[in-house]
Amino acid sequence: MARRPTIRDVAREAGVSTVTVSRVANDPGLVKAPTRERVEAAMRRLGYTPNAAAQSMRTNVSRTIGFLVPDLTNYPNAAVAKAAEATLAEAGYYMLLTDSDHDPAREARFLRLLRSRRVDGMILYLSDEDDPALQATIGELDIPVVVLDRDLPLPLDTVFSEHRDAMRRTVAHLAALGHRELGLLMPELRIRPVRERARAFAEAVRAAGLDPDRQVVAYARPGTGGPDAVRRLLSARVRPSALLIDGNRLLAATFEGLRELNLAAQVTPIAIDVVEPLAAAMPEIVGIARDFAAIGRQAAQLMIDRLSGALTGPPQRITLASRAVMAERAGARATAGASVPAGR
C-alpha cells in the first residue's frame, strides 16, 4: 500500500504550486485553461483523490449528515433513510447511517461518535423520547438537528406524522360497520406515534359511542414480545372483532396468534404502517398508511436549508398526513365478524 498521492504530488507532477491544484479542484474558474488541463492530467495520472479528513479539518465542514435509526430492517426506517439519502446526495451531502437497535445506550454512543466525526448535522429517529441523558446530549449539540416524529422538550426542527385523524377515521369506520369491540396492538415504546395513536384510539372510541370498557389495548415488548402480547390480547376478558396492529412485525405475530388460537374467522386485522411487500401480497389488509419517502425528503430538505442558511430562526415543526386506507376503500371487506380474507 503505497502512500496516497497528495495535493503536493500533483503540484510537482504538473509543475505548479499546491494552491493551483487546490483551485482546480474547488473553483476551476480561477485557473487558466492550459494550466488547469495540465493539473487535471496530473490528477488522473496519479489517481489523486482529495483527503476528506484534511479538507474537513481545514474548513470545519464535512458535508456529512448523521442519520440514526432504531432498526434498519424495519421498512419504514429504511424507506425514510433512503429518501433522505437521495435528497441529501443531490445537494452534495453524504449520509452516515447508524442503527441503534432500539438501545438508548447505543444511541447515546452514536451521538458522541457522530459528534466526534464532526458531522454537519444529524437526523434522529429516537427510540425513547423520555430518556433525560439522551435529551441532555442532544441539547448540547451545536449543529442542526432534525428530529423525526418525537416530542422532545427541546427547540428542534421536527418532522411529525399526523396519526390521530387517520386513527379516528378508521375507528369510526369500523364502528359504522358494526364492530363493537376493538383491539389495538402496539410496541411498548415511549415514543410519540404510540402515544398519539393510543390517545386518538380512546377518543375515537368515545366519539363512536363504543363502550370504553370493551376495548382492549396491548403493548408488545420490543424484540420478541409480539406473540406474547397477541396471546394476551386474544385471551382478554373481551375479545375484539377487529384488531388494529402497529407495524409489520406485530402484524405477522398476529397472524401466527390467530392461527394458533384458531380465531382467524372471528378477528379482522387492520394494519398500521404496513408496508409494500406485505401490503401487495395481502391487499385485503387495510389500515393506516404513511408516505415514508416524503418524510425522509422533508427531513433532508429541512437539514439542507438549515445548513445553507436558507432557513433561519425558530425551529420548524412540520406535520405530514397519514392516510386511512380502509375508509378510502369503502370498507367493503372488513365487516363485523367477517373472516380474515384469504390470501387472494
Residue showing cell 438508548: 104
Rounded Cα distance between 290 and 256, Å, is: 25
255 lies in the binding site for a copy of itself (CB under 8 A): yes
- Interatomic CA distance for residues 64 and 122, integer angstroms: 9
Strand residue runs (E) in 260-334: 268-272, 287-289, 317-320, 323-324
268 touches, from DNA, a copy of itself, none (C-beta below 5 to 8 Å by class): none
**Residue 17: which of a copy of itself, DNA, none does it interact with, CB under 5 to 8 A by kind?**
DNA
Among the residue ranges 96-104, 170-178, 297-305, 306-314, the one whose residues contact a copy of itself (CB under 8 A): 96-104
- Work out whether 8 is an interface residue with DNA (CB under 7 A): yes
When the beta carbons of 32 and 344 are compared against DNA, the nearer one is 32
Beta strands in 153-200 (DSSP E): 157-161, 182-187
Of 139, 203, 122, the closest CA to residue 166 belongs to 203
* Binding residues among 325-344 for a copy of itself as defined by CB under 8 A: 340-344
Q: How far is the CB of 90 from a copy of itself (least distance, A)?
A: 11
Question: How far apart are alpha carbons 84 and 323 in whole angstroms?
Answer: 21
DSSP code per residue over 286-304: -EEE--HHHHHHHHHHHHH
Q: Is 123 in the site for a copy of itself (CB under 8 A)?
A: no
Q: At what angle do helices 132-140 and 104-116 cross, to 10 degrees?
A: 10
Half-sphere exposure of 10 (CA within 13 A, CB side): 28
Least Å distance, CB 54 to a copy of itself, is 5
Work out what residue 321 binds among a copy of itself, DNA, none; the CB cut-off runs from 5 to 8 Å by kind. none
Considering the rule CB under 8 A, would residue 276 count as an interface residue with a copy of itself? yes
Interaction partner, residue 237 (a copy of itself, DNA, none; CB < 5-8 Å by kind): none
Kindly write out the interface string for residues 43-62 of this chain, putting x where it contacts DNA by CB under 7 A and - elsewhere.
-----x-xx--xx-xxxx--
Least distance to a copy of itself from the beta carbon of 252, Å? Answer: 3
Q: Which of DNA, a copy of itself, none does residue 19 bind to, with CB < 5 to 8 Å depending on kind?
A: DNA
Q: Does 278 bind a copy of itself (CB under 8 A)?
A: yes
Does residue 283 touch a copy of itself according to CB under 8 A? yes
Q: Is 252 in the site for a copy of itself (CB under 8 A)?
A: yes
Is residue 22 part of the contact set for DNA (CB under 7 A)?
A: yes
Task: Give the total of residues touching DNA (CB under 7 A).
Answer: 30
Residue 86's binding partner out of DNA, a copy of itself, none, with CB under 5 to 8 Å set by partner kind: a copy of itself
Query: Would you call 226 exposed, middle or buried from its count of C-beta atoms within 10 A (0-12, 13-18, 19+)?
Result: buried
Residue 206 engages a copy of itself in binding (rule: CB under 8 A): no
To DNA, the closest distance from the beta carbon of 12 in angstroms equals 11
CA distance 147 to 130: 14
Sheet holding 121-124, edge to edge: 94-99, 64-69, 121-124, 145-148, 157-161, 317-320
The contacts of residue 47 (CB under 8 Å, 6+ apart) are: 5
How large is the C-alpha radius of gyration of the chain?
26
The residue count of the chain comes to: 344
Question: Which residues sit at the interface with DNA, rule CB under 7 A?
Answer: 3-4, 6-8, 15-20, 22-23, 25-26, 30-32, 34-36, 48, 50-51, 54-55, 57-60
